Amino acid sequence: MIKVLFFARLQEEIGKESMEVEKAGVSVSDLKKWLAATHHLPHMTQTMAAINENYANDDDIVNEGDTIAFIPPVSGG
């Protein structure tokens, strides 16, 4: 089981701050694709990720017990 945290626009789109899923052992990229497909989050490819509070690359693996956070790009002026 891993914990997934959502920030900013993603929280609004999915309707919650976090969820727990049985996706240990997958890459960040595969988790993004799964979230995009199953929870209708079309902008996941542009989202930064952090595993256990350390920025992660798309090819990093999410392990059992990890917390992964998804942070969308911020815009403003």
Strands (E), 1-77: 2-6, 18-21, 48-51, 54-56, 67-71
pLDDT in tens, 9-67: 999 999 999 999 999 999 999 999 999 999 998 889 889 999 999 999 999 999 999 99
Tell me if 36 sits within 8 A of 73, measured CB to CB.
no
Domain 2-71 homologous superfamily, CATH: Beta-grasp domain (3.10.20.30)
pLDDT for the residue numbered 77: 53
Measured CA distances, 55 to 13, 17, 26, 40, 52 (Å) = 22, 19, 16, 24, 8
Record the pTM: 0.91
CB atoms within 10 A of CB 14: 17
Q: Where are the domains of the chain?
A: 2-71
